[in-house]
Chains A and B, each alone.
Chain A
Amino acid sequence: MITQDDISIALAGSPVRRRRERRIRRLFLGAAAASVLISVAIVASLFGEAWTFISNVGFTPLADIGWFPRRGLYDIRTLLVGTLLVAGIAMVVAGPLGMGTAVYLSEYASPRTRRWLKPAVEMLAGIPSVVLGYFALTFISPSLLRPIFGEGLSGFNMLAAGLGVGILTIPLVASVTEDSLRAVPLALREAAYGLGATKMSTSIRVVIPAAVSGIVASMIIAFSRAIGETMVVAIAAGATGGSLFTVDPLGGGQTMTAAMASLAIGSDRVRGDDYAFQSLFFLGLVLFLATLILNVVAERFVRRVRRQY
């Protein structure tokens, strides 16, 4: 005779089976929780040392003649201005070039040429940033910039670094922008053509405005990537150890990330009596918060695109 228990076991599976299922589920939950743990660890380690730094050094040295952590000079303006300078130059390069690439791929290229051109652009994204740093130092700076700026240009300079970072971010702008352009429904383009619009005015007046939040997001993400980029600047902009406050892109300089890298190379001296080691984490915290905010803002924009149409 079939009992109630038999039915419920048949429907829900045997207790052994169910227990095993629960164990597997918990295992995967643990893996997912690990990612949260990592974020907590990042924030905790950054805040801890950054707090030691700020509470011992105070805010006064944060606006002095330059960034020389080993001498106790922590002028963070130097690094902020350097970072904005490099990222600004990068955006001047990556913004238009990435947008142009995206509009061409999405609106003009035939499916066949697109199949060849898109991977070519994506290959640029796969080039390691140390390689672009080397390229900026050995090609962009001496062969491209020196003929234009002559002797005013120093061997290590922020302009070459900015151009290198810009090249690195072109594929990022291009791919996010292209995604949002392609998300614009075909009907909008057909409506424009139906009114007699040319391809150009359809692209500029209809497709691009319809995709504007995705385009803005791509710019924000690229900017965030540019301020977090380390190796290009560390190689091409020089200034090991420290830098005087400067706004001259033709000279050497320092960004937050490059300052962290150059502090770390003198690995043994990082743990000196001063707060050089802690200053690493202070910079890291500033960088972490800045990119976090930019990424969250960018995601808001992307989500707005998805909700439309």
Chain B
Amino acid sequence: MNASAIATAPEAVVRALTTRRRDLRGGAFRLVLLGSLLVAIGVLVTLLVDIGARSASVWGDRGIVDLISTEMSADPERAGIWQAFYGSLVLMVFTAALAFPLGIGAAIYLEEYALDTRFTRIVNANIRNLAGVPSIVYGLLGLAIFVKILGGLTGPNVEGRSIISGGLTLGILVLPIVIITTAEALRAVPVAIREGAVGVGATQWQAIRHHVLPVAAPGILTGTILSLGRAFGEAAPLLLVGGITTFFSSGGAGFVETLQGRFSAMPVLVFSWARLPQAEFKALTAALIVVMLVVLLLINATAIYLRNRFEKGVKT
């Protein structure tokens, strides 16, 4: 480097730092990144608009009450979604009743009681792996256990392909998600809260029950309710344990008989209607999807509402 270069260097540096030369490549890069994000959001918007537009004729002719309250039929003029709607709701009750207590209990054990032993590490790794297992494999589990082995209990008249089998399968499916989200919520509770409770003479359970759980409640509730949304959209495992769309009565049978009987659910109905060739069924399927998305929205809104409510109640 010669003397003149060194002499001009400071000005060069100042110029480089102060002139606002347009960085074309940087700008293009930014646009590409923004573009990929907009494509993702654009797909979502396209999907919603497309399904909304396709379902328009159903809302005009039938209305939502008629669609939901009418039973399924092979005739697109008269077909409704009642059994599937009812089936989905019952399945959600089963899923929540199984997955919430078991999942929250398991998370409490792993976060609050368990020491860092080999057993604990195995259980933790196992739960993370279960969360990554494809949903259809849970369907196989349900098929092997609830349908084949326990069929006499879950549905004696339908070879075990009952709503009980479906509900238990979905419950097991979301269990790992419930455990993981609950454990995260518990981990976020400061240790000082536990120490404070134990310091004034609370037992471990009293500390958890009255101090840790209330603080973790918003996170636990949001996570568990969102997991219900996940179960609500699942079709694959239900196909394996006998969710069907070819039965045409919701039956006047008693409650237990209903639970042990054949069932349908909204995602399963989407699957079978989507493949039918008639154009009317394309519109019906779109309308059914709109109902599903509205229910999902309600589930998510409930989660957010409960979180806000609980966060207001407890200050950390």
The chain A residues found within 8 Å of chain B, CB to CB, are 13, 17, 20-21, 24-25, 27-36, 38-39, 41-42, 45-46, 48-49, 96-101, 103-105, 108, 117, 120-121, 123-124, 126-135, 137-139, 167, 170-171, 174, 196, 198-200, 203-204, 221, 224-225, 227-231, 234-235, 238, 240, 257, 260-261, 264-265, 267, 280-281, 284, 287-288, 291-292, 294-296, 299
Contact = CB atoms under 8 A, between A and B. Distances in A.
Interface residues of B, number: 87
A18 B149 CA distance: 40
B36 A27 contact: no
B35 interface: yes
Given A45-B140, A228-B137, A260-B139, 18 more contacts: A35-B127, A35-B179, A38-B130, A42-B140, A46-B137, A98-B40, A101-B33, A124-B44, A128-B235, A171-B40, A199-B26, A231-B235, A231-B236, A261-B240, A284-B137, A291-B132, A291-B133, A299-B128
B214 to A, nearest CB: 17
B40 A25 contact: no
B30 A108 contact: yes
A32 B40 contact: no
Is chain B's binding surface mostly helix, strand, loop or mixed?
helix
A284 B175 contact: no
Nearest to B34: A104
Contacts of A36: 122-123, 126
A191 B43 CA distance: 38
Interface of B: 16-17, 23, 25-26, 29-30, 32-37, 39-41, 43-44, 46-47, 50-51, 54, 101-106, 108-110, 112-114, 122-123, 126-130, 132-141, 143-145, 161, 172, 175-176, 179, 203-205, 229, 232-236, 239-240, 242, 244, 267, 270-272, 274-275, 282, 285-286, 289, 292-293, 296, 300
Contact of B36 (A38, A39, A97): A97
A223 to B, nearest CB: 11
B270 to A, nearest CB: 4
A32 B29 contact: no
A267 B50 CA distance: 33
Closest 3 CB pairs of A and B: A228-B134, A128-B233, A100-B36
Contact of B267 (A97, A128, A138): A128
Nearest to B27: A200
A295 B137 CA distance: 15
**Most chain A beta-carbon neighbours within 10 Å: one of B23, B32, B34, B114:** B34
**Most chain B beta-carbon neighbours within 10 Å: one of A13, A28, A131, A167:** A131
